[in-house]
Amino acid sequence: MRYFTIRRRRYWRYKGSTLHHPIGMKKLDRDRLPRHIAIIMDGNGRWAKMRTLNRIQGHRKGVEKAKEIVNHCSELGIEYLTLYAFSQENWSRPKAEVNALMGLLKNHLKSELKMMTENNIRFMSIGNISQLPVSVQKIISEVEEETSSNSGMQLNLALSYSGRLEIVEAVKKLAEDVMDKKIAIKDITEDMFSGYLYTGDMPDPDLLIRTSGEMRISNFLLWQAAYTELYVTETLWPDFTSTHLLEAILDYQHRERRFGLTAEQLRIRAAR
């Protein structure tokens, strides 16, 4: 199926960051980079189990990997990066694991504030943030405030996030505005509705990457991903490198994004 690309043991064998490798960069079309990349970071638990480690150690390695990929995306000039860090459904995991994840999140945001400031990265959280521990909410608010004037890549962290809940909450806000006569029902459009989502002022993701080989989007950006290109790799998140990131982007650049049009219509439009 064209929408999914699965990589099975086919990796670029370059040493160091592929983003700085002359062959890798030569293949990349800098004029056709995805503006917005979203990533479902899956496989921390399996990565740990394969190494007879506990799940927390897997999550710790996953946090380190997130830092690496954020830096690579910023170097490339990606405008928006959205990482699926903690879903609404993840609250049902063992309490010890959830507490450890909250601790990792808090420590990571504290330690990475300097990096985000130095690299001109804006930080934003999306999701039902009020469900998070107060101490975590405080750190999130501080980092968002400290980076709000940065003009480089925007890093979105999806926390306590549910795509369905996001849509429901948007409908509620829209209904309230209709009741308050701020807008008329006849004026409601898809673009207007998009403005009520957590990602209201951002472009939809161009590329959605899922690690660990699972063939689903797990309640992530359901509205926004309507025409997003999906890329699935069997690589577990802690093993995902700049090489894999580049491979996903190169695959994206070889696709024809038609948005419901025919190939002929696209050629005519491009010729104008």
Residue 196 is encoded by which pair of tokens?
A: 């009520």
Name the burial class of residue 54, with classes exposed (0-12), middle (13-18) and buried (19+) by CB atoms within 10 angstroms of its CB: middle
Distance separating alpha carbons of residues 68 and 245, to the nearest angstrom: 11
Chain-centroid distance of CA 155 in Å reads 8
Residue type, 90: N
Element (H, E) at 145: helix 134-147
Distance separating alpha carbons of residues 83 and 69, to the nearest angstrom: 10
**Active-site residues: which are they?**
42, 90
Tell me how long the chain is.
272
Distance separating alpha carbons of residues 58 and 60, to the nearest angstrom: 5
Distance separating alpha carbons of residues 140 and 26, to the nearest angstrom: 38
Which residues have a Cβ under 8 Å from the Cβ of 44 and sit 6 or more positions away?
A: 55, 58, 59, 61, 62, 236, 237, 238
Q: What is the 3-state secondary structure (H, E, C) of 183-247?
A: CCHHHCCHHHHHCCCCCCCCCCCCEEEECCCCCCCCCCCCCCCCCCEEEEECCCHHHCCHHHHHH
